């Protein structure tokens, strides 16, 4: 079981009719119609460009014109790079759009709140597809990378989910043998900036994010504070292990993760074990999707305060909660927002200077 979206529907006969058209369209991207030679703009821009993406070579003949982003995290990076006019569709959302991107997101088609079907994605006529997770762009997800590439559509998965020691074959949300760092998030930004020929914008965005982390953590001492991150599900809660995005947040602020002894990304842990660990602060995912139980922070708090196994936790008795968006708890551009909000929350609770 995974905390991510539901599986997509199989490809319908209608979608199969689209395949020849899409293949011709995608394969022709960046080529002059008259003689088949690369156009001047593509040549001057240094195309074709190839990115090594989690063991795959992703080659672009020209900057994509119709990208479909299969996860909110990758969509928010594209919009932060000023590429809203290139986004032909987006899907799989847990939260409202990141603050400051409302206008850019307003006219972008939402293909589905969870995983769209392969057919629905093909209807958007993409010439490039991005995803934040292997579980979205892979077996059991919308479609495999190979299915898109067979149609001449390059596909890209965030390196935060398929590099940096991530093992997605272990079931659930996978596990990590290495700790995720914010550098992996910055790497995704730089990759997408390179794909779309906006490298300068990419470096500016990375610089802004690095400055925000530095500002949020300056002179912060939270070394005696233990945190627990709860994403969703009240019956068998998904709690953060050592080494994903919550781990990166925890290390940035110098605190401790109550479950840093597990390398699973989001293990499902029983409440009795939580009571034994008794974290100082509980970081709650405040989601707006309706996929599992206890999605909103309000529902989580009601459960914690009304359940005998959790009502006596130190964090619950003293109402030590910090609320984060689901995207801030994923490896994404908003993980930086997570650093800021957890640091601010600990200061407000009087647990850090």
Binned at pLDDT 50, 70 and 90, residue 324 comes out as: very high
Reading the block at residue 70, the tokens are 């299969």
Q: Are the CB atoms for 274 and 311 separated by under 8 Å? A: no
* Residues carrying CATH 3.40.50.1980, the chain: 13-157, 219-348
Q: What is the 3-state secondary structure (H, E, C) of 274-318?
A: HHHHCCCEEEEECCCCCCCCCCCHHHHHHHHHHCCCCCCCHHHHC
For 6-41, b where at least 16 C-beta lie within 10 A, e where not — what string? eebeebeeebeebeeebeebbeebbeeeeeeebbee
Per-residue pLDDT, 139: 86
Whole-angstrom distance, CA of residue 325 vs CA of residue 180: 19
CATH of domain 13-157: 3.40.50.1980
**Residue 30 pLDDT exceeds 90:** no
DSSP 149-183: HHTT--EEE-HHHHSTTEETTSSTT-EESS---HH
Residue 119 has pLDDT above 60, yes or no: yes
163: pLDDT confidence band, cut at 50, 70 and 90?
Answer: confident
Give the span between the Cα atoms of 247 and 240, in whole angstroms. Answer: 8
Statement: residue 164 has pLDDT above 90: no
Q: Do the Cβ atoms of 3 and 292 come closer than 8 Å?
A: yes
Question: Rounded to whole angstroms, how far apart are CA atoms 186 and 205?
Answer: 9
Q: Are 229 and 240 in contact (CB under 8 A)?
A: yes
Nearest to 71 by CA among 56, 82, 53, 87: 87
- pLDDT for res 1: 61
Structure tokens at 105: 């997101």
Looking at the domain that runs over 219-348, which CATH code has it been given?
3.40.50.1980
pLDDT of residue 109: 98
Residue 316 pLDDT more than 50?
A: yes
What is the band of 3 on the pLDDT scale with cuts at 50, 70, 90? low
Q: Which tokens sit at 151?
A: 């149609």
Which of 283, 254, 301 is CA-nearest to residue 342?
283
Q: How confident is the model at residue 204 (pLDDT cuts 50, 70, 90)?
A: very high
Residue 129, CB-side half-sphere exposure with 13 Å CA sphere:
32
pLDDT of residue 180: 96
| Predicted confidence band of residue 44 (pLDDT cuts 50, 70, 90) | low
- Which pTM value belongs to this model? 0.87
Question: Bridge partners of 176?
Answer: 166
Residue 21 pLDDT more than 50? Answer: no
Comparing 14-23, 103-112, 149-158, 271-280, the range with the smallest average pLDDT is: 14-23
Which of residues 28 and 112 earns the better pLDDT score?
A: 112
* Residue % of the chain over a pLDDT of 90: 82
Instruction: Read off the pLDDT band of 68 (50, 70, 90).
Output: very high
């Amino acid at each position: 079981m995974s905390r991510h979206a539901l599986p997509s529907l199989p490809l319908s006969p209608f979608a199969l009719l689209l395949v020849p058209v899409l293949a011709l369209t995608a394969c022709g991207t960046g080529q002059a119609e008259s003689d088949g030679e690369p156009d001047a703009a593509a040549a001057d821009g240094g195309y074709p460009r190839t990115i090594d993406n989690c063991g795959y070579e992703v080659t672009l003949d020209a900057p994509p014109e119709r990208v479909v982003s299969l996860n909110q995290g990758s969509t928010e990076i594209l919009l932060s790079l000023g590429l809203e006019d290139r986004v032909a569709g987006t899907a799989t959302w847990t939260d409202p759009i990141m603050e400051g991107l409302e206008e850019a997101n307003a006219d972008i088609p939402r293909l589905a709140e969870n995983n769209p079907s392969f057919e629905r994605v093909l209807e958007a006529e993409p010439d490039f597809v991005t995803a934040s997770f292997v579980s979205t762009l892979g077996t059991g997800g919308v479609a495999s990378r190979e299915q898109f590439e067979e149609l001449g559509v390059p596909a890209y998965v965030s390196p935060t989910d398929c590099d940096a020691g991530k093992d997605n074959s272990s079931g659930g949300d996978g596990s990590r043998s290495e700790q995720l760092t914010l550098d992996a998030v910055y790497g995704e930004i730089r990759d997408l900036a390179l794909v779309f020929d906006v490298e300068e914008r990419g470096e500016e965005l990375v610089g802004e994010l690095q400055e925000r982390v530095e500002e949020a953590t300056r002179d912060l001492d939270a070394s005696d504070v233990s945190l627990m991150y709860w994403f969703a599900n009240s019956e068998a809660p998904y709690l953060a292990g050592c080494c994903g995005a919550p781990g990166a947040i925890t290390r940035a602020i110098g605190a401790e993760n109550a479950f840093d002894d597990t390398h699973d990304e989001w293990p499902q842990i029983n409440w009795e074990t939580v009571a034994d660990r008794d974290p100082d602060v509980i970081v709650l995912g405040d989601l707006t999707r309706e996929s599992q139980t206890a999605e909103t922070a309000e529902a989580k708090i009601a459960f914690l305060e009304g359940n005998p196994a959790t009502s006596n936790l130190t964090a619950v008795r003293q109402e030590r909660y910090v609320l984060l968006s689901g995207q801030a708890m994923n490896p994404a551009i908003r993980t930086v927002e997570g650093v800021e909000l957890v640091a601010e929350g600990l200061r407000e609770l009087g647990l850090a200077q």
